[in-house]
Amino acid sequence: MIEKESHIEADQKTSSILLVDDVPANLKLLGGILHDEGYRIRSAINGELALEVAEKEKPDLILLDIMMPGIDGFEVCRRLKANAGLADIPVIFISAMGDTGAIVKSLTLGGVDYINKPFQAEEVIARVSTHLKLHKQSMALLNLNKELQELNVTKDKFFSIIAHDLRGPLGGFLGLTKIIANEPQILTDDQNKEMASALYSSAQNTYDLLQNLLEWSQMVRGNTTFIPQNLVLKDIITECLSLATESAREKSISLIMEISDELQVFADSNMLQTIIRNLLSNSIKFTRNGGRVSIAAEAAENNMIVISVKDTGIGMNNEMVENIFRIDVNTKRTGTNKEASTGLGLLLCKEFVEKHGGEIVVKSIENQGSEFFLLFPAP
């Protein structure tokens, strides 16, 4: 027995096709032909039902009759192409209206092909296979174009940080060292202390920026290691708070922790520290002298842990809150003591939290403060 040659590739055989025709016999015949080729078939006997099925099931291709009661095939196609969620689905008209005018109108409305009735099975199979393949290639190109656009945005952000934001703290550092080197004899003790404090602040800002740039570049290139394990949350937070103590002390900001000794989280230690470190640094940066930054955590539903970092800082407006985790929108601003900021730390936080299957949410009110909520899996 000789097996029938297949016209479609293996990865196309799971494709779904919507058949639209008001004659049940046509649906049965056409459905049988395509079902034997391995396609998943769904039928609709009128235009209204076809639109409902298309909206619900998003088929990979539609075979559409023209002459139907109610809305005809032309109107169905027009509505499909006007719907952003359905416009990309290829539509092949299959009709007994074989005149040139009908064919031209079909293609003008967005159809990709036209098959005359009565049809030949081999012709239908070949055209369906061809347009499914073309559609798949088209979608792959669109996805590739989207990825390239995202990479360009990432590249622009990266070079912007290097060209502008890194030059700022390094320029300040250079200016301070120049004064100390050229005029050490005219500086009082108080001025020397002030210079030393400014140098430390500039060096710390530069270090933090370089650290985030390094981690971000590794993440973008897919080189970030991810080894989640059971961690005692209070130990991680305590270590992060110790690193933030000096920055908080300079602004007389109180650091408060409310986390039980027993609470654990399932996370990658390095990523979790990076997240907490950035959120604490961010809160201190945008909180005025004498303010307060608190970090707390508790068990939540669905076997998750909620960590919150709250400050009494300058807060954000609704537009900034909406865009704060977007790399293509510039949300950077200086801190309350003119500290440099790029917004890169928050992008890292979002990527790292989502790497754990968690979520990061922010609530903020201008001139009252911000609170970041992190959802992490419990052990």
Which pLDDT belongs to residue 13? 55
Indicate whether 325 pLDDT > 50. Answer: yes
Residue 336, pLDDT score: 87
pLDDT for residue 303: 92
Does 279 share its domain with 213?
no
358: Cβ contacts below 8 Å, ≥ 6 apart: 304, 374, 375, 376, 377
Query: What is the pLDDT of the chain when averaged over all its residues?
Result: 85
pLDDT higher than 60, residue 165: no
| Max mean pLDDT range (91-95, 138-142, 170-174) | 91-95
Beta carbons of 19 and 44 less than 8 angstroms apart: yes
Give all strands of the β-sheet with 40-44 in edge-to-edge order. Answer: 40-44, 16-20, 61-64, 91-95, 113-116
Residue 331 has pLDDT above 50, yes or no: yes
pLDDT, one tens digit per residue, over 107-120 is 999 999 999 998 89
Structure tokens at 192: 């020397």
Confidence label for 147 from pLDDT (cuts 50, 70 and 90): confident
- For residue 5, the model assigns a pLDDT of 46
Radius of gyration of the chain from its Cα atoms, rounded to whole angstroms: 31
What are the structure tokens assigned to 106, written together? 């079909």
Number of H helices, E strands in the chain: 11, 12
Write down which residue in 127, 142, 157 finishes a domain.
Answer: 142
212 and 258 assigned to the same domain = no
CA distances from 146 to 92, 135, 155, 282, 291 (A): 27, 16, 14, 31, 43
Domain membership of residue 147 (yes or no) is: no
Average pLDDT over residues 140-164: 71
pLDDT higher than 50, residue 93 = yes
One domain for residues 197 and 232: no
Do residue 371 and residue 251 come from a single domain?
A: yes
User: Do 98 and 126 share a domain, yes or no?
Assistant: yes
Mean pLDDT within 106-134: 93
136-141 contact pairs (CB < 8 A, 24+): 136/12, 138/88, 139/88
Within 8 A by CB and 6+ apart from 186, the residues are none
Residue range 268-285: mean pLDDT, rounded: 90
Round to whole Å and give the CA distance between 121 and 133: 18
Average pLDDT over residues 147-154: 73
Q: Residue 180 falls within a domain, yes or no?
A: yes
- Domain holding 191, by residue range, is 166-224
User: Does residue 345 fall inside a structural domain?
Assistant: yes
pLDDT tens profile 231-242: 999 999 998 898
Distance CA 376, CA 171 (A): 39
E strands present in the chain: 16-20, 40-44, 61-64, 91-95, 113-116, 228-232, 254-258, 264-268, 292-300, 304-311, 359-365, 369-377
Domain membership flag for residue 148:
no
Kindly indicate the confidence band of residue 3, based on its pLDDT and cuts at 50, 70 and 90: very low
pLDDT at res. 271: 87
Rounded distance between C-alpha atoms, residue 15 and residue 61, angstroms: 8
Of 98, 103, 91, give the one whose Cα is nearest residue 116: 98
Going by pLDDT thresholds of 50, 70 and 90, the confidence category of residue 75 is very high
pLDDT for 58 equals 94
Helix axes 73-82, 47-57, angle to 10 degrees: 30
Indicate the DSSP class of residue 300.
E
Better-predicted residue by pLDDT, 300 or 146: 300
Question: What is the per-residue pLDDT for 212?
Answer: 66
Say if CB 295 and CB 262 are below 8 A apart. no
Report which secondary-structure segment, H or E, holds 129: helix 121-160
The DSSP 8-state label assigned to residue 309 in this structure reads E
Distance of alpha carbon 73 from alpha carbon 124, whole angstroms: 18
Domain assignment of residue 159, yes or no: no
- pLDDT tens digits, 34-57: 999 999 999 999 999 999 999 999
The confidence band for 1, taking pLDDT boundaries of 50, 70 and 90, is very low
**CA 67 → CA 20, 24, 30, 277, distances in Å?**
11, 14, 17, 66
Q: Model-level pTM?
A: 0.52
| pLDDT level of residue 4 (50, 70, 90 thresholds) | very low
CATH number, domain of 309, equals 3.30.565.10
**One domain, residues 239 and 201:** no
Task: Please give the pLDDT value at position 2.
Answer: 37
Is 311 contained in some domain? yes
For residues 198-203, average pLDDT: 72
Domain membership flag for residue 193? yes
Higher confidence at residue 181 or residue 262? Answer: 262
Q: What is the number of domains present in the chain?
A: 3
